[in-house]
Chains A and B, each alone.
Chain A
Amino acid sequence: MQNSPRRGGNILTKITAHELAKKQKEISVAEFFERNKHILGFGNQTRALITSVKEGVDNGLDACEEANILPYLYVEIKNHDDGECRVIVEDNGPGVVKQQIPHIFGRLLYGSRFHAIRQSRGQQGIGISAVVLYGQLTTGKHAKITSKVEEDRPAVVTELVIDTNKNRAEVINRDTVHWDKPTGTRIEVSIIADFKRGKKYVYDYLQSTSIVNPHAQIIYREPDGTEHIFERTSEVLPRKSIEIKPHPYGVELGTLIKMAKHTKARQLNSFLKTEFSSMGDRTTNAAIEKAGLEKTMKPTELTREQFLALNKAFGKVKIMAPSMDCLSPIGETLIKRSLKHETKEISPEFIITASRPAAVYSGQPFQIEVGLVYGGNLPKEEPVKILRFANRVPLLYQQGGCVITQAITSIDWRRYGLSQPAGKGIPTGPAIFLTHVSSTLIPFTSESKEAIADVNEIENEIKLAFRECARKVQHHIHKEVKRAKTREKFDLITKILPEIAKKSADMLNKPVPSLDRVITKIMDVVWIEDLIEYEKVDRAPVQTTLTDELHEEHKGGTITKSRILVVNYKRNPQKFNLYAIIPEDAVVGTVTPTPTKIANNYIKWKLDTIPPANKLDVNFELAGLEKGDFDENDLYIENINPAFVIGADKWEGE
């Protein structure tokens, strides 16, 4: 450096490294944020409003779920003419103890979830304190937090600001008040925000949140007093995600070295077995062998090269996918129910969902669920609406830069009846596409958590899920066409044929001829017809698989009753097997006649021989579902020519 020519450098005084060192100091996170608001999603006044609501809501939902409380959220925005908004978010969670309030609301990067490998909304502990900080930066006003932790004690009201130099809260005022709620937290922050522009987004955000959090009741009050209620459609809390150890697939070298340094295990094999998930004796030995290492080596003494070999060896060994207990997917039934509830006014033709088995990227388990709403009053000439969710949090911005959008646009939707110029880009048609990515760590493109990064494994899973969905759509349409034909035949034999007979008899003054055998001749099929009914019951429905042990105090529920009528309109007696598909999260109640098998997702009957022109009733009951969750029978037959049967398809095996 010193020998290189300098342009005009000699005019300036030389500065030494020692002198520079005097200026080098730690930057407080809070200070950093102050200058880089956009990184956390406060880039402009519209975004600031939505981010504030979002952080409050995420926080509230996480708090409730951790305490096994069905969330009841109240969101209110008060708007002042000078561009100042007061954002209020109230939950019925467990509350926050007095001593923790300054840390949680007044300190950035403080939280319990950062180090845990399990699914949660918030992770870094930045969210809510960032809102407090943004508020104080733009309005100079204190944040006000009300919290109540026990039913028979008063609530504590804390007013605080963040000391940005120290990244610590400064409590301005503390008081106790009476609060009707048993427990809960309420945060009020004044921020400069653009309500006029943000209005629609806040509504969309809360509606979307309600779709993927069917167990939450959200009430939203706008500045003009308009109140929106996003109703709870499931009385069951999502399964709690359980913390797990890292999975060897895709674990980074640095992480591996760090883990080995801190492990208490004395031998390599026990290190791998205890510090990682999905590692048994067989896989551990295989990995060590592939890496050319010894079981008995001390993990703390491995060289960088040996770690590298081990890391590479992980990829060559078939290791079971991580346990999915760390994930909390929504489930197809609930997604369908939520979409149904939220699109009531659109009256869509159908709602179809698909969910993939869990997969892994970079050692992090993830799972994809998708839903598709089609038809009704949805606009036909506009691009389909894409709803993106990550760990039950709606993503509102940067749609174009998100792996979800990328996956959707790379599918050729023209094959599935949507228009899409050149088979690329967002398809056009009356549809809504919902994607939910749940993962222990969502790879966001930035800290504002608006888009998911382009991760191959995730993109592939999303594509697979949508393809499955599209196939189901085709199946559904195919079935509708078949049903319409069935109805035609039904009209023919029940209405028209008797009329023809009657009229001809009248004209000739003869008795009306018998039709039964002519009908058999016309139909020449086995005809399967079904009906689904719902019955409210006071007693608790049969134990549901969805229910957490904590939520057994169901007052009553709905029994879904499926009635299947099998009529033999063939000229010969018929004997065959019948299968009815049932949702995996339903519990089977009474079934008649006695089934041969009740599997996880189907019921099988070996039906008795049905003589010509005879009928057979088949019934089953399902519990653990809401009205409308199961609204269509999916029936299959075996040991009979499928061409002889209307109303069921050929059973292709499980």
Chain B
Amino acid sequence: MKKDYSEVINKIDEVASKIYNDFEKIEIPSLNLPTRTKANIKFSDKYNVWKYGTSITERSAKSLDGAYMLLRTMYMVDFIKEMIKINKSSTLREMYYISEGWELAKFHSQQESNLLAEDLEVITSCMREDFKLRPEEDGARVIGNVTIEEVTRNNTKKEIHCQDDVGDAGYSIPYNVEPEKITFKNFDADFVIAIETGGMFDRLAENNFDTSNRAILVHLKGQPARSTRRFIKRLCSEKNIPVLVFTDCDPWSYRIFASIAYGAIKTAHISEYLATPSSQYLGVTPSDIENYDLPTDSLTKEDINALKSELTDPRFQDSFWKGEIKLQLKLGKKSEQQALAKYGLDYVTDTYLPEKLTEMGILKK
């Protein structure tokens, strides 16, 4: 499926026009975009996810930093336009290296260029994919009873069954998971279970949890990439099945859940594409530490600060999260998914998950 980029080019030219017109009107050149911080995310009733609110950040040539930002933006849009013209794409990292040739506009770290690419998405309401920019392959994996039809680089369609056609590592999620790239064909499962660590993903795969419990296993690989979140979102909304998030028991893992369920702060402009509002947190919860008597580590100073910050994060304001976070601060402890191995390798699949899933009403007794 060949994509039409004329709209993207229009949007990009609008950015350049804005700056050019500022000069003509004897205004200090500037670009406005929503403030991309925790303080400026609001719940969208329309999409059921968290989106940027109304506060606006101005990138203005008045300050040196602002001027550099505008110059880099100019270079970046020019580069994107060029890529569209010659029908190429580049990774974010490649763009960072290409910026070496941009003289004054060159980036000092890839972090800077990634952020600017996101800014540009926000400003133009386009997606990174529209800019022909892609992340590094992150290789998040899937195992379960689903057949995926993928358009390969040779432009042929290939069907992959995520149990029979894959090895132990599972199906690797590509960076582009839009309908022009993949479609879900045969599907027979009851729920998706998204797992933070590779070790736990492999444990569930080895114990055949996908077949025994009719589950789709998705490995999140830490903070999940956009494509992983988008994949889960599509799978959930197209097949209408619940998503359960299974992570370690620490503040960073709760943020993983939040980015899947509510939308991440950094990508709040596209939350409706990425977030799965119906997803539920399975564990490990601070209550589980007590109920299952799990091995623990003490919270570090950073952990405590992160937990406190979550108490003021608008996404964590429901009674479940408030209760669990306060309990954890009281315990002063954190734990890992794999701590469940205390009771044996099969404990997680034979006891913990069935108990939790039953409790949550996913499995019937």
Contact = CB atoms under 8 A, between A and B. Distances in A.
A422 interface: no
B20 A492 contact: no
Interface stretch (B66-74, B167-175, B285-293): B66-74
A492 B64 contact: yes
Interface string B58-85: 0001111001101100110110010000
Interface in A483-531: 488-489, 491-492, 495-497, 499-501, 503-508, 510, 513-515, 517-518, 521-522
B13 interface: yes
A506 B67 CA distance: 18
B129 interface: no
B29 A518 contact: yes
B26 interface: yes
Nearest to A514: B23
A499 B63 CA distance: 15
A499 to B, nearest CB: 5
B105 to A, nearest CB: 7
A569 B81 CA distance: 36
Greatest chain B CB density within 10 A among A495, A505, A514, A522 is at A522
Contacts of A514: 23
A507 B16 contact: yes
Interface in B325-350: none
A495 to B, nearest CB: 6
B17 interface: yes
B20 A497 contact: no
Most chain B beta-carbon contacts within 10 A, residue among A495, A506, A518: A518
A39 B258 CA distance: 83
Q: Which of B13, B16, B68, B81 has the most CB of A within 10 A?
A: B16
B19 A517 contact: no
Contacts of A492: 61, 63-64, 67
Contacts of B98: none
How would you classify the secondary structure of chain B's contact residues: helix, strand, loop or mixed?
A: helix
Main secondary structure of the interface of A (DSSP, over half): helix
B360 interface: no
A492 to B, nearest CB: 5
A518 B28 contact: yes
A518 B16 contact: no
A514 B22 CA distance: 11
B24 interface: yes
Contacts of A504: 16-17, 19-20, 23, 74
A499 B23 CA distance: 12
A503 B78 contact: yes
A503 B71 contact: yes
Contacts of A500: 19, 29, 61, 67, 70-71, 74
Nearest to B20: A504
Contacts of B78: 503, 506-507
Nearest to A516: B26
B26 A488 contact: no
Interface string A516-553: 01100110000000000000000000000000000000
Interface string B193-236: 00000000000000000000000000000000000000000000
A503 B74 contact: yes
B64 A497 contact: no
A496 B67 contact: yes
Given A499-B104, A501-B23, A508-B17, A522 B61 contact: yes
B164 interface: no
A507 B23 contact: no
Nearest to A523: B62
Interface centre among B19, B63, B68, B78 (most CB of A within 10 A): B19
Contact of A503 (B24, B61, B68, B75): B75
A561 B166 CA distance: 80
Given A491-B64, A500-B67, A508 B20 contact: yes
Contacts of A491: 64
Interface string B21-54: 0111011110000000000000000000000000
A253 B26 CA distance: 82
Interface of A: 488-489, 491-492, 495-497, 499-501, 503-508, 510, 513-515, 517-518, 521-522
Given A499-B71, A517-B26, 10 more contacts: A491-B64, A492-B63, A496-B71, A499-B104, A500-B29, A500-B67, A501-B20, A501-B23, A518-B23, A518-B61
9 contacts: A491-B64, A499-B105, A500-B74, A501-B23, A504-B20, A507-B78, A508-B16, A513-B20, A521-B27
